[in-house]
Amino acid sequence: MPITVGHDSSKTRKSISAGGKSLSFYSIPAAQEAGLGDFSKLPAALKVVLENMLRFEDGKTVTTDDIKAFGDWAKDGGKGTRELAYRPARVLMQDFTGVPAVVDLAAMRDGIVALGGDPEKINPLNPVDLVIDHSVMIDEFGNPRAFQMNVDREYERNMERYTFLKWGQSAFNNFRVVPPGTGICHQVNLEYLSQTIWTDVDQNGEEVAYPDTLVGTDSHTTMVNGAAVLGWGVGGIEAEAAMLGQPISMLIPEVVGFKLTGAMVEGTTGTDLVLKVVEMLRAKGVVGKFVEFYGDGLDKLPLADRATIANMAPEYGATCGFFPIDNETLRYLTNTGRDEARVALVEAYAKENGMWRDESYDPVYTDTLELDMGTIVPAISGPKRPQDYIALDSASTEFAKYIKGLRDAKDTTPTSEVRWEGEGGAPEPQDIPGDEGHHNKGWYKTDDGAYQLHDGSIVIASITSCTNTSNPYVMIGAGLVARKARELGLTRKPWVKTSLAPGSQVVSHYLEAAGLQDDLDAIGFNLVGYGCTTCIGNSGPLEAPISKAVNDYDLVATSVLSGNRNFEGRISPDVRANYLASPPLVVAYALVGDMNIDITSDPLGQDKDGNDVYLKDIWPSAKEVSDLVEQTVTREAFQSKYADVFKGDEKWQGVETTDAKTYDWPAASTYVQNPPYFQGITMDTKQIENIEGAKVLALLGDMITTDHISPAGSFKDTTPAGQYLIERQVPVREFNSYGSRRGNHEVMMRGTFANIRIKNEMLDGVEGGYTKGPDGEQTSIFDAAMAHQEAGTPLVIFGGEQYGAGSSRDWAAKGTALLGVKAVIAESFERIHRSNLVGMGVIPFEFTDGDTRKTLGLTGDEEVAIHGLDDVTPGKMVPCTITFADGSSKEITLKCRIDTAVEIEYIENGGVLHYVLRNLAKSA
């Protein structure tokens, strides 16, 4: 399908020659010559957005005033408030968020039929790629059969979803599916799908070159910014609107410049660098802003490390972390198998359109900060937030402080004995560093002997996630650590669940070519699958005796993973403390199995001769790593592994589906159900109404993440979601995860606000998805919400700072809406979740004048009324009356976070999808 540009010809449309042919493009220098503004000092990231305005300028959706605003932005020192209609080139999805998006598209086909329209009107207008990467779970590990057994279980659990996605691939135009077992969506995007400069034919039959841009239904879509592809995560709701041709409404962003100088020193990795960057930018405050990296340090920073930094933009709170095009970009594109003509076009285009970084690159930024990479030291981050940076040599002491804080808060009383429940006599109790005097020394017994667990025992060590497994320097480094450990006779501790889940098959290719996979296998890091696994909460169950010991003795078990997220309750229900680390450090921690040990100075173990082995003894030099990367990470490997990327294995090819244009919803399915959003839809919209007599469903604290609101991991049979499945004869073994069941609103509603670590301040210290029902008694969030709905009572949520941080999880907004919540009132919102709430018809509000839930003394027993919504405008200040349990009341002022004019229309329609559906029906 050809792209439709905003105008057929203009003073900004020029020609460029590259790769043996001539193409059209929209020239920023030509726009400047035409008097539209001085764009010479714009950051490259903003020039990508400006080009988008030039290409789609039509005098209506995009005007010359929009273009001129970029010149004003530079003159005003990087400040701007103008609303833009931005159109990304494509959409990227993963299956957890992609399944509900395709469910919505299928439901929209039913909806447009109900409105008298043609179901084939519902089709992606922009290219959509969906990569199945979130489904594989680590049931089997530490042996050669792990990969195949996990794949087999993945298909057993997810066949209904895969059948549905394969139907979608055939039913919808412009929609491709990358099958299971291929890799993680962001790594596939970086290594194969992205082109940095895109080309397509316009409505006049002319080939046009333009920057590769995208939005994705996963927050780590930002990873591809490392290759100068402007992309960021949006909720599935916003992505669906984008793929259906709706522009993304955004304010011209502030751009913070992050200057990198110097070079990384021996013994440090790109992971150590990104953890420091996350800490610095979180402290700076970059929510809703672009971050662009510049400085001569980039000359020494490989693209793999850039991608690691760009990947974690959600963790430092930015919309994206962008790296301009330079010689390293070209080297990476060539090495990963891109066509030579494409690489030539990228260079020519970037230089012609002012997007090339060289020694003269010196744009204007809204604000700047600087880091000398020579100051980076080995580090980890945890135990529950990515920005909780810890220098590695302080890790054990910081962990001891964390444990003391937990135990003091619980007022743990020591006991005089440790009870052994296994057969035979127990080993003598040992004093554990950092845990003296406490009763929580948990014994468990296996065929190999008896072992003692305690606070800090590492029960999961996982090389996982797009963040680091895309980086051959840290992956080769991990393999070399494993090799040296193996040669000295070291292996993982028996209580550590080890796993290796690469982001693409290319990783396995170079690990095998270097002979390192054998070494990783030898110490337990066998291949378990190609997917997100532990990072998304699919760590799988711990061995039963270990899980029992952890829970019986109330231990603070820990995990170490090479991921990007370590939020509470995310990694495993048995693990309370989670640490992010580089892949080589994950291997090292698996060898010691204990966070109480200082791996920078204490022995990791003993060699075959009984000599102490230290971290320095098994840590590879930078030259060892780079030499192996150069030998094994080849252009031919990328071309070979991506040759049949959409074909899949025999299992995928054997998935049967129909060619119907609307989906035949299986009534008995517990994975895919027709959602209620469009049932009974008419062409009528509804004026936004004031909120009267609302009750409080939850009173929540700071940094409530989308994992807290809509967890992705496993759940028990005692939860509302578990009870729903039990009632439908689904055995516990087949529960799978919340993430895998996102196509079924009944499961997801019951899982909303159901994270095992969430704390509703309406209750006294209770963890989990509980609240007070209409009768004042403790009950589940779901049951209370249903009781309020039955009584016709609207609901509100109160929160603290950074409400909705983390993943771009559309179900965090969908579930909120389906529970009957009309408003979320918080101190501040993360960008994606605020947008998702609006997209689902839930209005976000922010406290003003220093008010917070704490200063107001809220308990959750209040009644809330919000007025001024019947004539709301973007950002309007509105009165809110809070009536307390004793009958007294107080009026405060809230800022309505409906940020743009089109968002008002979304709310009036009941959500963005209703808005799109009605517009499509009108056009028909």
Q: Which residues contact 575 (CB under 8 A, 6 or more apart)?
A: 459, 460, 539, 550, 557, 558, 559
CB 113 within 8 A of CB 663: no
Least confident of 78-87, 263-272, 396-405: 78-87
**Residue 80 pLDDT > 90:** no
What's the token pair of residue 320? 């994206």
Cβ contacts of 850 within 8 Å, gap of 6 or more: none
The CA angle 311-316-322, to the nearest 5 degrees, is 50
Report which DSSP code applies to 325.
B
Residue range 751-794, pLDDT digits in tens:
999 999 899 999 998 999 999 999 999 999 999 999 999 999 99
Instruction: Specify the pTM.
Output: 0.84
Amino acid symbol at 137: M
- How does DSSP classify residue 473? H
The whole-number pLDDT of residue 419 equals: 35
Decide if 455 contacts 438 (C-beta within 8 A): yes
Residue with tokens 């490997």: 637
Contact between residue 128 and residue 217 where contact means Cβ atoms under 8 Å apart: no
- What gap in Å lies between CA 566 and CA 146, rounded to an integer? 24
Helices (H), 661-809: 706-709, 720-727, 745-750, 781-790
Query: Tokens standing for 542?
Result: 């711990």
Average pLDDT over residues 360-375: 97
pLDDT of residue 251 exceeding 90, the answer is no
Choice between 714 and 490, residue whose per-residue pLDDT is larger: 490
Task: Give pLDDT tens digits for 563-580.
Answer: 888 888 789 989 999 999
- The mean pLDDT of 244-249, rounded to a whole number, is 86
The tokens for 910 are 């009941």
> Would the pLDDT of 73 be above 60?
yes
320/234 Cα distance (integer angstroms): 11
Q: Which of 124-133, 160-169, 566-575, 650-659 is predicted with the least confidence, judged by mean pLDDT?
A: 566-575
pLDDT at res. 441: 60
Q: Which of 240-244, 326-330, 509-513 shows the lowest mean pLDDT across its residues?
A: 240-244
Give the bridge partners for 684, in sequence order: none
Give the integer Cα–Cα distance in Å for 327 and 227: 11
Q: Above 70 in pLDDT, residue 661?
A: yes
The pLDDT score that the predictor gives to residue 411 is 57
Taking the C-alpha atoms of residue 911 and residue 913, their distance in angstroms, rounded to an integer, is: 6
Inter-residue contact 284 to 321 (CB < 8 Å):
no
* Joined tokens for residue 446: 């296996």
Q: How confident is the model at residue 924 (pLDDT cuts 50, 70, 90)?
A: low
Question: DSSP of 367-417, one letter per residue?
Answer: EEEEEEGGG---EEE-SS-TT-EEEGGGHHHHHHHHHHHHHHHHTPPP-S-
Of 778, 711, 454, 689, nearest to 593 by C-alpha is 454
Q: Taking 60 as the threshold, does the pLDDT of residue 806 lie above it?
A: yes
* pLDDT at residue number 35: 94
Instruction: Supply the pLDDT for residue 499.
Output: 96
Q: How far apart are CA 578 and CA 600, in angstroms?
A: 19
Instruction: Quote the CA–CA distance of 613 and 714 in Å, as a whole number.
Output: 38
Distance, in Å, from the CA atom of 252 to the CA atom of 52, rounded to the nearest integer, reads 12
**Domains and their CATH numbers in the chain:** 175-375 (3.30.499.10), 379-607 (3.30.499.10), 676-923 (3.20.19.10)
Mean pLDDT of the chain: 91
What's 678's DSSP letter? G
Average pLDDT for 487-514: 96
In this structure, of 76-90, 410-424, 891-905, the range with the lowest mean pLDDT score is: 410-424
What pLDDT does residue 432 have? 41
Please indicate whether residue 745 or residue 443 has the higher confidence score (pLDDT). 745
Farthest CA pair distance, the chain: 88
CA distance 255 to 318: 10
Fill in the amino acid letter for 122: I
Sequence-separated (6 or more) residues with CB below 8 Å from residue 144: 521, 526
Query: Could you please report the per-residue DSSP string of 813-824?
Result: HHHHHHTTEEEE
Whole-angstrom Cα distance, residue 423 to residue 336?
56
Residue range 338-358: mean pLDDT, rounded: 97
Residue 430 has pLDDT above 80, yes or no: no
Q: What pLDDT, on a 0 to 100 scale, did the predictor assign at position 1?
A: 55
